[in-house]
């Protein structure tokens, strides 16, 4: 893989032209080539594991335990799964042919799209590059990846190390920020996968329209978590553990599918808050067990969410910010006003509003009044409630009795709906994201029905 320094990124015409030439040569379509690229990615994860832990610590203060769980471990499993299955996914699939077409055979033939571009975000800066990249390579494309400039150590790591493990002629890393991204979008791509904010997502889509480039947008949202009354202490404790895992131990809540807020019945709220406080103390015995906030700008954005006096008054735990270490204490808020920024904007940080409802079923009405999120979570044993959530609400995914773990499953698609984006990937869906399903029909010269041609008469219409 070739790395392109920012100063050389002024014009990308040559880069795109070279990649198109490589793609047209058929090199990336070859199944052995695809396999060697996937193997290269697995080797990278194995041989450079410690370096990956180092850069994630530098960029985000991520603990190696978290980095292994959310980046290296998840990725390795996913890429090995692609290695084992991509030849089957790439094989033509026989389709049904109706009698009227007899004799004929029909197939769906997955073909690569061509030269594709992947923009990634800073919060999972390895996974959000390598998961889509592995899908694009398994599908036989030439690829440009643009890591986030806000995770500079990881971006530099990818630019320096990927060339050693992948085909530098067919895959390029372009480092840089918004200006580089804009210049990349001047060109025609066969697909753009963008992970990031809705604001930039809109710009990407507008620019892509000029070339009729298809896009997939992986955006953010406010992911709600319904917590129903749980009868046993054990169930409640499991729920609390998992809520904490999905909020504070996943990049300090800086994750698109982190729990944004909790919905709970009034009477259960004090119990839940007490259990959260106790378990937070138990889990975070050392400061380094929580990632830090990306930078001062994001720390300020988060502290501004608490600047509203009504919101500050709702803090029931934590609330302490440390600008020197860029850390924020795990913070619980009880019923901040629903019109405040903390309840209208994506939080993307370690602040957790708890909103009470009279009856847990009211949470469904609440969710239906909001834009469709990337994920909905619910902790409950109530099957009726589960079915109502599945049938009456819309979201990228629904997970019951856990949170975030759906990200690690290769068997289900990952992506948003409505305001949280569109286009799905992970596992086979990453392959499909970068493939075109070509319809192929093979007819025979054998039988010829003349009723399909003029001259028309009433007997033909009745056929
Ligand atoms: P962003 O939108 O500012 O940047 C994302 C990428 O776009 C980066 O690579 C950046 O360099 C590039 N970029 C920025 N401006 C550009 C422009 N004008 N033209 C072209 N490229 C440009 O990212 P952010 O705001 O820091 O990201 C946070 C958001 O991303 C949150 O809303 C979060 O929920 C979302 N997110 C979504 C997912 C998902 O999988 N759905 C994953 C992670 C983050």
**CA-closest residue to ligand 1 atom 13:** 178
**CA-closest residue to ligand 1 atom 17:** 178
Edge-to-edge, what's the strand order for the sheet holding 397-400?
Answer: 315-317, 331-334, 351-357, 261-265, 224-227, 375-379, 397-400
Examine the predicted complex and report whether its ipTM is higher than 0.85. yes
Is pLDDT of 350 > 70? yes
**CA-closest residue to ligand 1 atom 8:** 148
Average pLDDT over residues 343-348: 98
What's the pLDDT tens digit per position in 184-216?
999 999 999 999 999 999 999 999 999 999 999
Is pLDDT of 8 > 60? no
pTM for the predicted model, two decimal places: 0.95
Is pLDDT of 456 > 50? yes
Catalytic residues: 218, 256
Distance 375 CA to ligand 1 centre (A): 18
Name all residues whose Cβ lies below 6 A of ligand 1: 119-123, 128, 146, 148-149, 177-178, 181-182, 185, 195-197, 200, 203, 218-220, 256, 346, 348, 374, 416, 421
Residue 143 phi, psi dihedral angles, 5° rounding: -135, 140
Query: CA dihedral defined by 83, 88, 90, 92, rounded to 10 degrees?
Result: 170
Substitution site in 194, 196, 302, 429 for ligand 1 pocket (most atoms within 8 Å of beta carbon): 196
Residue 262 phi, psi dihedral angles, 5° rounding: -115, 145
Distance 200 CA to ligand 1 centre (A): 7
How far apart are the C-alpha atoms of 280 and 269, rounded to whole Å? 16
Strand 224-227 to strand 375-379: parallel, antiparallel, or no bridges (unpaired)? parallel
How far apart are the C-alpha atoms of 66 and 245, rounded to whole Å? 10
CA nearest 441: which of 197, 94, 112?
94
Distance 12 CA to ligand 1 centre (A): 21
Sequence-separated (6 or more) residues with CB below 8 Å from residue 141 = 23, 28, 112, 113, 114, 115, 116, 190, 191, 434
Average pLDDT over residues 247-266: 97
Distance 218 CA to ligand 1 centre (A): 9
Token pair recorded at residue 255: 């994750």
């Amino acid at each position: 893989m070739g790395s392109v320094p920012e100063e050389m990124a002024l014009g990308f015409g040559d880069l795109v032209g070279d990649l198109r030439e490589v793609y047209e040569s058929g090199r990336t379509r070859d199944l052995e080539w695809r396999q060697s690229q996937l193997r290269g990615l697995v080797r990278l994860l194995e041989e450079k594991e410690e370096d990956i832990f180092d850069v994630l610590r530098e960029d985000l203060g991520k603990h190696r335990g978290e980095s292994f769980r959310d980046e290296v471990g998840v990725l390795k499993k996913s890429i090995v799964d692609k290695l084992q299955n991509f030849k089957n996914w790439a094989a033509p699939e026989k389709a049904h042919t109706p009698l009227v077409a007899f004799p004929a055979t029909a197939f769906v033939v997955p073909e690569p799209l061509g030269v594709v571009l992947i923009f990634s975000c800073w919060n999972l800066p390895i996974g959000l590059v390598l998961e889509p990249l592995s899908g694009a390579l398994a599908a036989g494309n030439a690829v440009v990846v643009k890591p986030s400039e806000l995770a500079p150590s990881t971006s530099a790591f990818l630019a320096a190390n990927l060339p050693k493990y992948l085909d530098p002629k067919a895959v390029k890393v372009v480092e840089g920020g918004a200006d580089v991204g804009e210049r990349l979008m001047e060109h025609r791509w066969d697909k753009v996968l963008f992970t990031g904010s809705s604001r930039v997502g809109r710009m990407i889509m507008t620019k892509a329209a000029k070339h009729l480039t298809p896009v997939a947008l992986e955006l953010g949202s406010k992911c709600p978590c319904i917590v129903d009354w749980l009868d046993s202490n054990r169930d409640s404790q499991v729920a609390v553990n998992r809520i904490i895992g999905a909020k504070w131990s996943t990049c300090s809540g800086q994750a698109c599918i982190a729990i944004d807020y909790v919905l709970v019945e009034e009477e259960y709220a004090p119990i839940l808050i007490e259990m959260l406080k106790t378990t937070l103390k138990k889990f975070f015995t050392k400061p380094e067990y929580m990632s830090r906030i990306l930078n001062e700008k994001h720390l300020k954005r988060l502290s501004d969410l608490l600047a509203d006096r009504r919101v500050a008054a709702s803090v029931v735990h934590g609330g302490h910010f440390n600008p020197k270490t860029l850390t924020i204490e795990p913070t619980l808020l009880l019923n901040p006003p629903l019109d405040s920024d903390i309840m209208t904007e994506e939080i993307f940080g370690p602040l957790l509003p708890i909103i009470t409802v009279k009856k847990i079923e009211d949470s469904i009405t609440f969710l239906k009044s909001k834009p469709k999120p990337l994920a909905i979570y619910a902790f409950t044993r109530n099957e009726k409630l589960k079915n109502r959530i599945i049938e009456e609400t819309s979201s990228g995914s629904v997970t019951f009795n856990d949170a975030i773990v759906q990200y690690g499953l290769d068997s289900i698609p990952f992506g948003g709906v409505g305001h949280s984006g569109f286009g799905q990937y992970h596992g086979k869906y990453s392959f499909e994201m970068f493939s075109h399903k070509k319809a192929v029909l093979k007819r025979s010269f054998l039988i010829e029905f003349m009723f399909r041609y003029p001259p028309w008469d009433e007997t033909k219409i009745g056929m």
